[in-house]
Amino acid sequence: MGKWLILPCFGGKVASSSLPSCSSTADEGRSIVRYSYKTLKSAAQGFHERYKIGEGGFGSVYKGKLENGAVVAIKVLSAKSMQGEREFLAEIESMTNARHENLLRLRGYCVQGVNRILVYEYMEKNSLAQTLLSGRRSNDINFTWAARRKVILGIARGLAYLHDEVKPHIIHRDIKPSNILLDSDLSPKISDFGLAKLFPDNVTHISTRVAGTVGYLAPEYARCGKLTIKSDVYSFGVLLLEIVSGGSSKNYALGLEEYRIVEKAWELYKDDQLLQLIDPSISEKSIGKEIDQFLKVALLCVQGVPNLRPSMSTVVEMLATTMDTRDLQISQPGVIHDLHTLKVGGTPAAAAAAKCVCSEDSSRESRSSTLSTTKSSWESSK
């Protein structure tokens, strides 16, 4: 993160490259604002339980109203969590220069004494985890195929922007339903960049501690801590399958070994019954071909060999364009077994016991051939 400095206005040690300048300005434009603790406490009515809209391992999120009338989400990190401090710095560093319609906008922050607070734009429809995938559908949200298609494409475009357009590139590391928020028009916003990693152009991968959420971790990352942009692509593929099916990626009813949706999709694909994965609540009958296309793109994203997964920019093209999927070469997905041995948040060595079943294409020639065929099929259908 660069050199460490003691900056009086932050009341402690922070990374000089991680935070905006120590200005006390309250400019409400596109810049990131430094708020006082008093201002944010007042906005959230003293952080009263009634205004709490979310809670996680690193703190709580409250709905608040600023003095200018703007409604915001106020994320208060736990003062006891050193990992929360690390996440706080990562989140500001990641979002300072990132601007995209499908990324949740970071409005500001507070660093005062032991208090670490992030201020975001407020999303009326909450997250995918609390709506479409909650198991208890909200009556005021109709997740038609058109709505789901909009959500899927928005997430894909946001990730493509992070991977290709932002400099340095950003890997999110925790793409999952609870980190996809929805505005009043059901436009998706990728949120929670606390685990994000910055990737310069000349870096192909990073060996790092395993962090993220079981069920969405790419096998090669979960097994040995090797992080690439294809780790996000895998997570997106799992999420796409969830959005189409309306079901969770994990089913713990039978224990941690049960890892369902990727395996189920693969078995249906092999039996030429992929459309059976569609959520029964999708009433449109004329869009089976398009949904089939989306599901096959999802399977491309979760392939066991990372190099065979398409980039997110290619994914956006494949989802936004009608294509002939009959000749697509899709190899076996990567699936993590023995999930109870996986230590998320530990070192790569701690995760090494997790067994990974990857593609049967083990040789370099076979991998190259499959990738070439997939690209050729896609390009010829454009």
Burial of 199 from C-beta contacts in 10 A (0-12 / 13-18 / 19+): buried
Burial label, 29 (beta-carbon count in 10 A; 0-12, 13-18, 19+): exposed
Which among 362, 287, 365, 302 is positioned nearest to 335, based on CA atoms?
Answer: 302
Tokens of 32: 């990131």
Contacts of 341 (CB under 8 A, 6+ apart): 353, 354
What positions carry a catalytic annotation? 174
Contact 311, 163 (CB under 8 A): yes
User: What does the H/E/C string look like for the chain?
Assistant: CCCEEEEHHHCEEEECCCCCCCCCCCCCCCCCEECCHHHHHHHCCCCCHHHEEEEECCEEEEEEECCCCCEEEEEEECCCCHHHHHHHHHHHHHHCCCCCCCECCEEEEEEECCEEEEEEECCCCCEHHHCCCCCCCCCCCCCCHHHHHHHHHHHHHHHHHHHHHCCCEEECCCCCHHHEEECCCCCEEECCCCCCEEECCCCCCEECCCCCCCCCCCHHHHHHCEECHHHHHHHHHHHHHHHHHCCCCECHHHCCCCECHHHHHHHHHHCCCHHHHCCCCCCCCCCHHHHHHHHHHHHHHCECCHHHCCCHHHHHHHHHCCCCCCCCCCCCECEEECHHHCCCCCCHHHHCCCEEECCCCCCHHHHHHHHHHHHHHHHHHC
Neighbouring C-beta atoms of residue 221, cutoff 10 Å: 31
Q: Is there a binding annotation on residue 264?
A: no
Annotated binding site for ATP: 75
Annotated binding site: 75
